[in-house]
Amino acid sequence: MNIDLYQVDAFASKPFEGNPAAVCPLETWLDDGLLQAIATENNLSETAFFVPTESGYQLRWFTPAVEVDLCGHATLAAAWVIFNMLGDSAELLQFETRSGQLLVQRDGDELAMNFPAKVVEPFTMEAEVKAALGINEIEELLISDDIVVVVNDAQLIESLTPDMQQLKRLPGRGIVVTAKGSDVDVVSRWFGPNVGVEEDPVTGSAHTSLAPYWAKRLGKQQLTARQGGARKGALSCEIEGDRVIIKGRVAPYLKGVITLPPQ
């Protein structure tokens, strides 16, 4: 049994930028254990699997360790594969996911994802967060799906070397550290050892929390953002009511075939 595999770099203008994702088109769903085994073998922060339906596609995402409820960069990657490798001529793709219906449409040389906005609330484990991140000052500490750590120095984000074992003791999916940028509106890094991803270069889903927060704080509905440490990627966000439009480019890297034993 063979399955096509595409590896592309999401939120990237060329290969070796942004966040790599594996994308596997399927005709029907495979066993969950096999999906997880493929994602573990791929060893990327996310592998996306999709199956066509009458109205669009069912879409699921797996890290090397677990299935997750929402992933931005692998949704962007899957949409790019559907548009550019599978030849879907639609202007708008509909994905049914564990987070409800997600929409992706063409926008020039970018793709625009329509995601639900997340509300952040105050979070109180400041001492534990500081110890895990190895920092002394936090401007604001919040939580949604992720712990959101706001700092007042973008350069501090560049130098972060978190203690992954201490991060694993914190609640939530992951932890995102963010600051106001200079050449862009927002900068951030995201760490998720609890879901098997020590650092995700560009996390679209984290911006469902970051974008509403920074839009309110900066007084603007459209934001430019950059995420990552040694490897970075770029995206833009726009607030539309209770939704966040997240835009980015995708750069292809490789196409291959996964060979599986008979099922």
Active site residues: 46
Element (H, E) at 109: none
The sign of the dihedral angle between the CA atoms of 91, 82, 255, 32 is positive
- For residues 22-53, one letter each, b for 16 or more C-beta atoms within 10 angstroms of the residue's C-beta and e for the rest, the string is bbbbbeeebeeeebbebbeebebbbbbbbeee
Let me know how many helices (H) and strands (E) the chain has, helices first: 6, 18
Residue entry with tokens 């625009």: 112
Show Cβ contacts of residue 36 under 8 Å, excluding neighbours closer than 6 positions.
62, 66, 67
